[in-house]
Amino acid sequence: MADRPLRVLFVASECAPWVKTGGLADVVAALPPALAALGLDVRVCLPFYRSIRREVGEAPACATVLGALVREAPLPSGIGTYLIDAPWLFGRDGGPYQDSEGRDWPDNARRFGLFARIAATLASDESPLLWRPDVFHGHDWQAGLGPLWLKTLLPGAAPSIMTIHNLAFQGLFAPEMVDALHLPPEVYAMEGAEFYGRLSFLKAGLHYADALTTVSPTYAREIQGEAQGCGLHGLLARRRDQLVGIVNGIDDRVWNPATDPLIPACYDRDHLAPKGVDKEAVQRRFDLAVDPARPLFGLVGRLTWQKGIDLVAEVGDRLAGVGGQLVVLGT
């Protein structure tokens, strides 16, 4: 390994611009090229959803693992991907986790259980690929069984990292899925993947991964307490020495007001005057009083306590009292 770059396999259920429901997709899109610019060899493993197939077509297959084809295609950033093509699990319309009516797919455990096991296989001696990662980097519950497989079954397994983007979504399923997914029965324990009588994909990842990261040092501290630990605070507190908070960065190729084609006027820190044009456009779009002197606040995020919407609600009257305006985009 000394004579080649460190190889990292990102394993996630989303990656912009191909499939996105939240910030996870932005991180998985932006972080690999940033690491590649530092000299690492990074690839991304994703389910081959029907929506991705529409973007890339029939990407060439490079291997078969557990009955699924592994296809290759580059992201728009140039980062290579391994697309897990299991049409019986991912070849359907709707979102990555829910159908078009907003109902969870009833076979999500099987879908992401197989996905994580295939991705883990690619990070072990059982991989049929020539490219072998030095690190398995799983993201959120959909990749959570990967570290479990790497620790308990697969030979020559790479060390693993799990990143927590949202601790509230844990991938909880009936205990019968332990047998259905052919997991070692001993992992269904408090010191393992069991969570209050259910199988937790996220807890599996947090228990078996060699290192844990999350989106900021503050969040890393908060989730070790009962208030924001979502029932996993004890595990995270015990693993505090392996838990690191790293502030998410910004992909300034996309989020850059100096070059953004979607705003009426571009600006930068040395030329702020055009920003007033954009502010007026927002005020008009949302039928607010057009007034350059009034402070305008924006919030983008799900309307849940996790995103701090309760804090915004608490100060709403005060904002209005000083003439402030508030625009919220979320569900």
Q: Are residues 130 and 68 in the same domain?
A: yes
d(CA 309, CA 316): 10
d(CA 232, CA 246): 19
Task: Note whether residue 63 is domain-resident.
Answer: yes
Residue given tokens 């990967």 in the structure block: 146
Q: Are residues 288 and 182 in the same domain?
A: no
Task: Note whether residue 306 is domain-resident.
Answer: yes
Q: Are residues 205 and 80 in the same domain?
A: yes
Give residue 302's pLDDT: 82
Q: Are residues 157 and 29 in the same domain?
A: yes
Task: Note whether residue 172 is domain-resident.
Answer: yes
The pLDDT mean for the chain works out to 95
Give residue 59's pLDDT: 95
Q: Are residues 283 and 164 in the same domain?
A: no
Amino acid at 202: L
Largest CA distance in the chain: 65
CB contact at 8 A, 202 and 140: yes
Task: Note whether residue 265 is domain-resident.
Answer: no
Give residue 306's pLDDT: 75
Give residue 52's pLDDT: 97
Confidence of residue 305 (pLDDT cuts 50, 70, 90): confident
CA distances 58 to 30, 49, 88, 219, Å, are 24, 12, 16, 40
Q: Are residues 236 and 300 in the same domain?
A: no
Give residue 250's pLDDT: 84
Give residue 192's pLDDT: 96
Average pLDDT, integer, range 295-305: 87
What is the domain count for the chain? 2
Q: Are residues 175 and 115 in the same domain?
A: yes
Give residue 233's pLDDT: 97
> Residue 166: is its pLDDT beyond 80?
yes
Q: Are residues 63 and 195 in the same domain?
A: yes
Give residue 2's pLDDT: 62
Confidence of residue 111 (pLDDT cuts 50, 70, 90): very high
Residue given tokens 């359907």 in the structure block: 92
> Residue 251: is its pLDDT beyond 70?
yes
Give residue 198's pLDDT: 98
Supply the range of the domain harboring residue 320: 275-329
Q: Are residues 290 and 165 in the same domain?
A: no
- The 10s digit of each residue's pLDDT in 121-165 is 999 999 999 999 999 999 999 999 999 999 999 999 999 999 999
- The 10s digit of each residue's pLDDT in 189-222 is 999 999 999 999 999 999 999 999 999 999 999 9
Give residue 137's pLDDT: 98
> Residue 236: is its pLDDT beyond 70?
yes
> Residue 105: is its pLDDT beyond 70?
yes
Residue percentage of the chain with pLDDT more than 70: 99
> Residue 244: is its pLDDT beyond 90?
yes
Among 228, 245, 262, the domain-final residue is 245
The CATH number linked to 115 is: 3.40.50.2000
Give residue 1's pLDDT: 58
Residues contacting residue 313 through CB under 8 Å, at least 6 positions apart: none
Q: Which of 24-38, 47-61, 310-324 is the least confident region?
A: 310-324
Task: Say if strands 211-214 and 243-245 run parallel, antiparallel, or are unpaired.
Answer: parallel
Task: Note whether residue 268 is domain-resident.
Answer: no
Q: What is the pTM of this model?
A: 0.90
Confidence of residue 112 (pLDDT cuts 50, 70, 90): very high
> Residue 117: is its pLDDT beyond 90?
yes
Task: Note whether residue 260 is domain-resident.
Answer: no
